[in-house]
Amino acid sequence: MSRPRLHEFLEKVFESKDNLPFLFEHDSFQEFCSDHSLNIPLKDLSLVFIHKSFSHEFGVPHQEQLEFLGDAVLQLILTEEIFLRFPLYQEGQLSKLRAAIVNETSLSTLARGLGLGELLILGKGEYQKRLFEQDVVLADTFEALLAQIYRHHGLLFTRSLFLNWLVQFLPHAFDKDFLEGFDAKSKLQERVLAKYKKLPKYESKVQGDQFFITLVVNDEAVLTGLFSSKKKGEKELAHQFLSQGHI
């Protein structure tokens, strides 16, 4: 797989800081704006993608303040949307549904769909570790992007664009099954505790870049799997066990 054009240029910046000013005006940022009908100055858009590791190396601002604002914008948009879609839901149900969407896994899925990892600007060590592929970094970057869209286009535009992205990359986000899949760990915990008077356990071993995870119920290993992260693996095993009707 060929490297994104911006990352090719980033490698030149590592070799010579003379290229630094041109990095933040890279064509990839302009193309992203054009693709999504955004009118954001390149200096502001590029800030969305500057990881703190790059900031520490090169002494430039980074994305973290935007993440803070973007989280608040995201919470507001989704709270209103869920409130309108589910008028009969109780507060606890609404909160769970919102949490199923405003989380690292869902936001990183949206970020991957938009190709945000290809625009991330990281320090040399983190770039070599391919930090631009990690869920937590992608999720944070998505929040920073939403903040900058809000600052330059306002809430109504941001809401419309975000909901369009949600339909495109997480089309089942508001489905009952999506919520049940997200809530599988807590649901399994409740059922196992009620039946066996003890909590389920998740045992994990590192295998290369992945985790071999075992779900233990009532001191018995009931399911295993190989996953890219512990969090994903535990949720998936809990969901599988519940869907098989064992408890």
Active site residues: 71, 143
CA gap 45, 132 in Å, rounded: 17
The answer to whether the CB of 5 falls within 8 A of the CB of 15 is: no
At residue 185, what is the residue type?
K
Burial class (CB in 10 A: 0-12, 13-18, 19+), 164: exposed
The answer to whether the CB of 176 falls within 8 A of the CB of 185 is: no
CA gap 7, 10 in Å, rounded: 5
Cα dihedral across residues 137, 128, 170, 174: positive or negative: negative
Q: Which two tokens stand for residue 122?
A: 């990281």
Cα dihedral across residues 205, 211, 215, 221: positive or negative: negative
